[in-house]
Amino acid sequence: MKLLAISFAFPPDSYPRSIQVSRLLSALPGECMIFCSSDDSAPKDDTILPSAPEGMHIERLPFSASFLRRCLWKLCRNVGGLPRSLSRLETGWSNSVTKIALAKLSQEKFAPDILVSFGEPPASHATALALKNELKIPWIAHLSDPWSDSPYLPRLAKKEELRRERMVVETADAVVVTSQETLELVSAKYPPALQKKFRVLHHAFAASRFPVIPPEHGILRHIGSFYGIRTPSPFFKGLAELAAARPALMNNLKIEFIGGIKEKLIDKTLLAKLPPGIISFNAHVPYKKSLNLIGAAWGLLIIDAMAKNSVFFPSKLVEYLGSGRPVIAITPKNSASARIVREAGGWVASPDSPLEIAAAIEDFLSKADNWDQSAARTAASQYEIAKVSERFGEICEEVLQ
């Protein structure tokens, strides 16, 4: 099978989607030609995909955004009142890819059997929509997370983003999301004929990338950035409750936050209630280093904001599962993260309940040294890349029939 892929995010550009897209495409049999962006301003990480597998042809297309568009993007992020279609940095890139891709396919005599586009951002789907009309081949649109239903979407942007999403859903042969909860949320607004197009394809981990090392006793780690309404405050409140009730449990306990967090998202008042030196904030690290830190952690943290419908499956959670280390998830109890962590034997506490969070941490501290890593990995085996790529192959066969 020959596959044509469109993904704005791809290594070495260091985006969360770069990791998952490259992992999936690298695991597929047959040939693949991928068109992705090449952005000099994007952070780079050569450890995500050290080398492309045989059969993968990578076409990196330059991306740049005008000064005005970057200003609009910053305004939308900071104010949240403008449609994202006005500020999409990647709009110009999307508009140029179609012609370049068609010319390259002709030049290389590469005749794809199937087309797949990966969001976020949705620019990849806009390109694939045009290519679908030209090539007349089956198209799988991998939305990953909610698009027009995203809680991070400004209200004024919803109508335009829904229009764009509907065009993709109506035209694609299959629409892929990463959790059952996302499928139910996103597909609910469509008629039954379109709902039938939706499929779940989990994020995946690669067990071979984790080092076999003993855990560092007493070290809890959170890997990844905080932004918007998602902050470490719920965890601080729960930890403060436990520190006040059981201060001896804080001895030799260290919590490390690895990744970006703006100063304004750190509640200094809450931090002052915790034992000195128990919390540390550390800079972003390369992907390979993050896997080492995950694998060596005594325990791992997921921290979500309180939300009515939390359908997101964080890509960092699948890396946690791959490590076999215990996970404490501070997340709404009906969230996708909560379900996944429970299945792997971890702890779940609601972000709006400091007492629940304190109880989860206390229970973890009593059981962490006897954690059955092999059982956790068995529970998480459905997310191993071999199984996820096999499932993607099944979806490809469905749309090819």
DSSP annotation of 275: P
Compute the average pLDDT of residues 63-82. 51
pLDDT at 90 over 80: no
Q: Are strands 56-62 and 114-118 parallel, antiparallel or unpaired?
A: unpaired
- The pTM of the full predicted model, rounded to 2 decimals, is 0.90
Q: Are residues 41 and 68 in the same domain?
A: yes
Q: Are residues 338 and 239 in the same domain?
A: yes
Give the tens place of pLDDT for each residue, 297-311: 999 999 988 877 788
Owning domain of residue 55? 2-204+385-400
Phi-psi region of 144 (alpha: psi -120 to 50; beta: other; left: phi over 0): left
User: What is the model's pLDDT at position 266?
Assistant: 87
pLDDT at 117 over 90: yes
Q: Are residues 157 and 224 in the same domain?
A: no
CA distances from 222 to 76, 146, 215, 257, 294 (A): 28, 24, 15, 5, 9
Q: Are residues 146 and 28 in the same domain?
A: yes
Q: How many domains does the chain have?
A: 2
CATH number at residue 190: 3.40.50.2000
Query: How far, in Å, CA of 76 to CA of 263, rounded?
Result: 20
User: What is the model's pLDDT at position 150?
Assistant: 83
Q: Are residues 191 and 275 in the same domain?
A: no
The secondary structure of 11-67 as a DSSP string is: TTB--HHHHHHHHHHHHSSSEEEEEEEE-TTS-B-TTSSSSPPTTEEEEEEE----H
Q: Are residues 29 and 164 in the same domain?
A: yes
Q: Token pair of 318, please?
A: 């699948």
Q: Are residues 14 and 67 in the same domain?
A: yes
Compute the average pLDDT of residues 38-56. 89
Query: Could you tell me the pLDDT band of residue 257, with boundaries at 50, 70 and 90?
Result: very high
pLDDT at 81 over 60: no
Compute the average pLDDT of residues 90-117. 88
Q: Are residues 196 and 228 in the same domain?
A: no
pLDDT at 234 over 90: yes
Q: Are residues 108 and 228 in the same domain?
A: no
Query: Could you tell me the pLDDT band of residue 289, with boundaries at 50, 70 and 90?
Result: very high
pLDDT at 92 over 70: no
- Lowest mean pLDDT of 191-205, 280-294, 300-314, name the range: 300-314
User: What is the model's pLDDT at position 160?
Assistant: 87
Q: Are residues 152 and 215 in the same domain?
A: no
Compute the average pLDDT of residues 9-13. 94
Choose the most confident range, by mean pLDDT, from 54-63, 72-81, 136-145: 136-145
Q: Are residues 255 and 297 in the same domain?
A: yes
Query: Could you tell me the pLDDT band of residue 65, with boundaries at 50, 70 and 90?
Result: low
pLDDT at 319 over 70: yes
Query: Could you tell me the pLDDT band of residue 379, with boundaries at 50, 70 and 90?
Result: confident
Average pLDDT taken over every residue of the chain: 89
User: What is the model's pLDDT at position 66?
Assistant: 54
Looking at the DSSP assignment, which residues form a beta bridge with residue 289?
Answer: none
User: What is the model's pLDDT at position 74?
Assistant: 52
Q: Are residues 138 and 279 in the same domain?
A: no
Give the tens place of pLDDT for each residue, 166-186: 999 999 999 999 999 999 999
With H, G, I as helix, E, B as strand and everything else as coil, classify residue 269.
Answer: helix
Compute the average pLDDT of residues 60-89. 53
User: What is the model's pLDDT at position 87?
Assistant: 40
pLDDT at 84 over 50: no
